[in-house]
């Protein structure tokens, strides 16, 4: 099997398993926006904003550091044991501090004590399975990884449908002890409960991996992993700011209604975020494992080229058929007041995906601090542009700010990548695909909304252009 075919295979398997929670939104978002008001959806969004933030702190870059040292170490069991022990100890310390400052933190995150406790439980369980999941990926066991992830997602989906659809719509099918305790006024709690039950089940399944090697902590290995990982943690915090701060600021500077509608329409970028996340899951271990190959840089160049092709196609298709997807995924018209953010957010996430691809230069050369600085710069753009523009142009400020932040990060990474780890990217074809997709999307959204005949024509123009440019490479890949 060719290297590129193996990459695509692993990306599909890992991506399907890891990104399925995002694809799950295709099923759950209509359920959530129907069951919850925009204010209720605001509470749901706030919960997961803080979950993302604390998750970055609790893992402190250890997952990526694990890949870096596990793939090249001759003492893999020591790397596994050291990473697992360090995450376990720091998690215990973190929750000790949370217990001490609990009242202050509840006020900070603006969640009720019940929701806060559920958040902590989910965080603890998810942190403890980071290393076992990373081990499955690093040791090329995608099927088992996918199976566990799919089981996790199945629990989330089933519990959501049980409490948000079956119980309120078909109470005669539900046991009395459930009906007696059911709260139609606080339905958002059942979304959090679903995630808690799924995290607990996943923890139990992966429990045997906690004992797969000797309990052995090597300070030297930990020191190396910490040195490699802490800049990734800072970059992760900056990424959460880029991805989540807009929602918190809209809630505080405009209203919970607008924030909930914005967060709901943001979900219409689901297929782009799925694609980007799938790429990351397959690419990260792939880049490390193949970095010593003689033609590694050419492989990386080809991967970016294909990434841009598929990402640009997703952008164009989503914009052309936006009003169809709007009805399908966000059936509650109360959320449509922010629909104009979607093309901008789609493009922003495409730029983010390109940035992740370009980021190999600092990961492979152990310059992870560079990634930290780039992400911090993006976070500063996010903070200052949102604060400056939300009072002027409202919620569209957050969409434009996200695009500016990710676009700037992409360009900075490309500039420094050419200096420290030059890869022969196909800049001409990449530029053609991006400009063509952006141009056709802009024309479709502004002048041909819901004109699907013109939309199909635009998609055909893009695909024909790709075939004409890439026909030789396609034939070569298919013949391998």
Instruction: Summarize pLDDT for 178-233 with one digit per residue, the tens.
Output: 888 888 888 999 999 999 999 999 999 988 877 766 777 878 788 888 887 788 88
**pLDDT at position 202, please?**
93
**pLDDT at position 156, please?**
92
Residue range of the domain that includes 467: 3-478
| Sequence-ordered list of residues with C-beta below 8 angstroms from that of 152, at least 6 positions apart, any chain | 21, 198, 199, 201, 202
Q: Torsions phi, psi of 432, nearest 5? A: -60, -45
Is the model's pLDDT at 289 over the cut of 70? no
Cβ contact 403:378 at 8 Å: no
**Segment 244-261 mean pLDDT:** 89
Helix 76-100 with 38-59: angle, nearest 10 deg: 130
Average pLDDT value for the chain: 85
**pLDDT at position 1, please?**
47
What is the number of residues in the chain?
480
**Segment 156-182 mean pLDDT:** 90
**pLDDT at position 66, please?**
79
pLDDT band with cut points at 50, 70 and 90 for residue 82: confident
Give the Å distances, CA to CA, from 29 to 118, 330, 333, 404: 21, 7, 13, 27
Segment 105-163, tens digit of pLDDT: 888 888 889 999 999 999 999 998 888 887 787 676 767 877 888 888 889 999 999 99
**pLDDT at position 394, please?**
93
Dihedral of CA atoms 247, 249, 251, 254 in degrees, nearest 10, equals -120
Is the model's pLDDT at 103 over the cut of 60? yes
- Tokens for 417, please give them: 């990548």
**pLDDT at position 321, please?**
94
- DSSP run (H or E) holding 270: helix 270-289
Task: Please choose, from the candidates 252, 329, 398, 292, the residue with its C-alpha nearest in 3D space to the C-alpha of residue 28.
Answer: 329
Is the model's pLDDT at 351 over the cut of 50? yes
Segment 386-441, tens digit of pLDDT: 999 999 999 999 999 999 999 999 999 999 988 888 888 999 999 999 999 999 99
Segment 363-388, tens digit of pLDDT: 778 787 888 889 899 999 999 999 99
Tally the domains of the chain.
1
Cβ contact 214:77 at 8 Å: yes
- Residue 125: is it exposed, middle or buried by C-beta count within 10 angstroms (0-12/13-18/19+)? buried
- Residue 15: is it exposed, middle or buried by C-beta count within 10 angstroms (0-12/13-18/19+)? buried
| Sequence-ordered list of residues with C-beta below 8 angstroms from that of 433, at least 6 positions apart, any chain | 308, 309, 312, 462, 465, 466
Q: What is the C-alpha end-to-end distance of the chain, expressed in Å?
A: 7
Is the model's pLDDT at 319 over the cut of 90? yes
- Tokens for 144, please give them: 């088992």
pLDDT band with cut points at 50, 70 and 90 for residue 61: confident
**pLDDT at position 388, please?**
95
pLDDT band with cut points at 50, 70 and 90 for residue 7: low
């Amino acid at each position: 099997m060719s290297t590129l075919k193996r990459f695509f295979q692993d990306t599909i398997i890992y991506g399907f398993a890891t990104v399925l929670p995002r694809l799950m939104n295709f099923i759950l978002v209509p359920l959530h926006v129907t069951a919850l008001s925009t204010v209720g959806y605001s509470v749901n969004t706030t919960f997961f904003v803080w979950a993302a933030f604390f998750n970055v702190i609790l893992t402190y870059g250890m997952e990526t550091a694990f890949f870096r040292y596990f793939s090249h170490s001759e003492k893999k069991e020591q790397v596994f044991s050291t990473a697992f022990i360090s995450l376990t100890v720091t998690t215990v310390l973190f929750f000790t501090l949370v217990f001490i400052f609990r009242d202050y933190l509840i006020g900070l995150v603006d969640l009720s004590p019940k929701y806060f406790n559920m958040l902590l439980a989910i965080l603890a369980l998810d942190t403890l399975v980071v290393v076992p999941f990373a081990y499955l990926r690093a040791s090329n066991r995608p099927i088992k990884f996918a199976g566990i992830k799919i089981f996790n997602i199945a629990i989330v989906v089933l519990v959501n449908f049980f409490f948000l659809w079956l119980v309120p719509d078909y109470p005669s099918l539900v046991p009395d002890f459930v009906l007696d305790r059911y709260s139609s006024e606080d339905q958002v709690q059942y979304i959090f409960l679903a995630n808690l039950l799924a995290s607990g089940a996943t923890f139990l399944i992966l429990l045997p991996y906690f004992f797969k090697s000797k309990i052995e902590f090597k300070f030297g290995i930990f020191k190396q992993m910490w040195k490699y990982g802490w800049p990734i943690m800072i970059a992760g915090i900056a990424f959460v700011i880029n991805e989540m701060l807009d929602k918190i600021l809209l809630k505080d500077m405009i209203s919970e209604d607008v924030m909930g509608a914005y967060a709901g329409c943001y979900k219409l970028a689901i297929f782009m975020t799925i694609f980007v996340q799938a790429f990351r899951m397959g690419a990260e271990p792939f880049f490390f494992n193949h970095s010593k190959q003689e033609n590694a840089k050419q492989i990386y160049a080809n991967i970016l080229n294909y990434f841009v092709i598929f990402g640009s196609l997703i952008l164009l298709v989503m914009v052309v058929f936006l009003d169809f997807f709007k009805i399908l995924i966000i059936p509650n018209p109360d959320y449509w007041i922010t629909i104009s953010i979607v093309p901008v957010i789609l493009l922003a996430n495409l730029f983010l995906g390109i940035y992740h691809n370009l980021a190999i230069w600092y990961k492979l050369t152990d310059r992870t601090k560079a990634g930290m600085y780039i992400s911090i710069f993006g976070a500063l753009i996010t903070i200052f542009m949102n604060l400056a523009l939300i009072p002027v142009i409202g919620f569209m400020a957050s969409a434009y700010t996200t695009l500016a932040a990710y676009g700037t990060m992409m360009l900075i990474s490309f500039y420094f990548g050419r200096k420290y780890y030059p890869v022969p990217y196909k800049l001409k074809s990449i530029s053609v695909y991006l400009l063509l997709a952006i141009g056709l999307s802009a024309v479709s959204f502004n002048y041909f909304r819901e004109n699907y005949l013109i939309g199909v024509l635009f998609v055909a123009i893009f695909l024909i252009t790709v075939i004409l440019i890439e026909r030789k490479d396609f034939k070569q890949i298919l013949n391998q």
